[in-house]
Amino acid sequence: MTGADAVVRSLEALGTDIVFGLPGGAVLPLYESLFAAEKLRHVLVRHEQGAGHAATGYAQASGKVGVCIATSGPGATNLITAIADAYLDSVPVLAITGQVGSPLIGTDAFQEADIRGITMPITKHNVMVRSAEDIPAAIAEAHHIASTGRPGPVLVDIPKDVQNEEFEFTWPPVMDLPGYKPNTKPHSRQIGQAARMIAQAERPVLYIGGGVLKAEAHEELLAFANETGVPVVTTLMALGVFPQSHPLYMGMPGMHGSVPAVGALQEADLLIAIGTRFDDRVTGDTDTFAPEAKTIHADIDPAEVGKIRQVDVPIVGDAKRVLSQLTDAFKDGKATTPKIGAWIERLNGLKERFPRGYDPQSDGSLSPQYVIETLSAEVGPDAIYVAGVGQHQMWAAQFIDFEKPRTWLNSGGLGTMGYAIPAAMGAKAGAPDKEVWAIDGDGCFQMTNQEITTAAMEGFPFKVALINNGNLGMVRQWQTLFYGGHYSHTKLGGDVYVPDFVKLSEALGAEAIRVTTEEEVLPAIKRAREINDRPVVIEFIVGEDAQVWPMISAGSSNSDIQYAMNIRPFFDLEESAGEAPEDIDDVVEIETEKGN
């Protein structure tokens, strides 16, 4: 068979059922093979970036490796943003690119680009295949590397002549990866030391990142929390890995995290950090982050342990094994349950004092928080929610009630505008029986809305809650707070909303609904849920001045968190013990009366 046939056969043997791509000259032999493929479905995207994000959404929703295909030169370079996005969020993606013929490599041939060199910093591994007989092993190795250890994107570049070359195909190939041996088994001595430290702690907190979700360790996390009574905070990438209705759940920490979650980290005497990388959006100023806490840090990637914060007990291993063995240490009596009743009472006090809430828009316009809160209440925790990047992403993280893993997809590390629409399509492909909602902003939507057409033609009927405030909302918020209200090039619509998203969505093949009042929100959501033969876009026209609170300014101390404009709770163990300014009571009382 040909090298192109071998790519298809290899993917099928690895269990791949769908690929997202766009053909071009250097990858036409592979598309000839895809034309005859019986087990492998190809989804024709409208832009290669959409193929990459769709592969990411598929992987995040299904737990499998997402696969995307592009031709050489501009086709391959259009994948770069999606590859970088998958790299920073540790998503298993296999990107297959065509390359100009071997004799032309290095001659600046038509549509030639050194995609290996370009993507080396943003892939877990990449390779150019020089011989057709090497293709089965190259695809198998790429799939293995992408999906094991700390997951991530891998790129396989195949010259056109190699795709046409004939050879004798055999499977399975012999994989030769002598330098790749992820350590999944934690050291028992480190587990024991961590258990003893937890037993002695007075204010411990489980600081949980996306690595726990990727390790499918949600049941082990729940078991450990129940066994020890240690409170839990989950990062933006880990929402859903621990049920938010659980009494030990304190919320999401970080720049727009909840006061109880931020307070738990700031006042802790022990951080049990698992599958998280101490991202700057969580820590703020690292010199003032969790100042009195010792640190246990467990991660499957040894490069992350101790990279940002000095660690007292480092553990390298799979999160599922780490949590299971820590739980066993307490069950077997090797460690005693920590006595932390006063600590839990303190954090519950913060939950009562600083509830989730928002202020109505002063101009009477529709509040975006109300939209998302209503969506969550109506659709429920079984759906998959996919967010773009910006204010709507943070409101979704704050106002959707996540109870189950793999129900929250977003671009966390790279913060990629345009992620939501293609990723939602990929999520629907990976979990066809799930209801999928993309929560997008008008700025993000205008970057990748062409994939609505792909979804309409390919039969992926996901829904879109389009939060239209006529602005690049998060940038506008920063301009409001830090740049004197100088709205430099952030207004997208204004009094005249351009484009008309209802007409645009209909032209792309979707059903479209426009909502401007609270009374219209729930009926529109119900109507969208009844339509399952094509995508649905609901345009919610909201006020342009809505802001995301709480907030910690970039680079500031987490102790300087603002609960609302000019209202800041204090985290000072020695003096105020978390007491807030006097006027915070008035704000909480108002929000309680609103039922928020």
Q: Indicate if 447 belongs to the active site.
A: no
Assess whether the previous peptide bond of 461 is cis (omega < 30° from 0): no
Q: How far apart are CA 525 and CA 406, in angstroms?
A: 22
Q: How far apart are CA 474 and CA 442, in angstroms?
A: 12
Given the structure tokens 């070359």, which residue do they identify?
165
Six-digit token pair at 467?
A: 């939060």
DSSP string, 492-525: S-TTS-SS-HHHHHHHTT-EEEEE-SHHHHHHHH
Q: Indicate if 304 belongs to the active site.
A: no
DSSP string, 332-394: TTSSPPP--HHHHHHHHHHHHHS-S--PPPTT-PBPHHHHHHHHHHHH-TTSEEEE-SSHHHH
Q: How far apart are CA 465 and CA 528, in angstroms?
A: 10
- Residue in 1, 32, 111, 446 annotated catalytic: 111
- List the beta bridge partners of residue 42: 19
Q: Are 512 and 505 in contact (CB under 8 A)?
A: yes
The strand pair at 93-99 and 232-234 is best described as: unpaired
The 3-state secondary structure of 575-595, one letter per residue: CCCCCCCCCHHHHHHHHHHHC
Q: Are 97 and 76 in contact (CB under 8 A)?
A: yes
H-run or E-run covering 164: helix 160-164
Nearest by Cα to 67 from 385, 411, 429: 429
Sign of CA dihedral 100, 37, 435, 467: positive
Q: Are 464 and 536 in contact (CB under 8 A)?
A: yes
- Residue in 237, 447, 474, 551 annotated catalytic: 474
Q: What angle do CA 482, 486, 492 make, to 5 degrees?
A: 115
- Residue in 39, 110, 292, 565 annotated catalytic: 110
Q: How far apart are CA 376 and CA 439, in angstroms?
A: 11
AA letter at 361: Q
AA letter at 216: E
Cα-Cα-Cα-Cα torsion 387, 388, 390, 395, nearest 10 degrees, comes to: -20
Q: Indicate if 48 belongs to the active site.
A: yes
Q: How far apart are the first and last CA of the chain?
A: 63
- Length reported for the chain: 596
Per-residue CA distances from 409 to 53, 69, 276, 405 (Å): 11, 22, 17, 10
- Residue in 64, 124, 160, 351 annotated catalytic: 160
AA letter at 385: Y
User: Which positions are catalytic?
Assistant: 48, 110-111, 160, 474
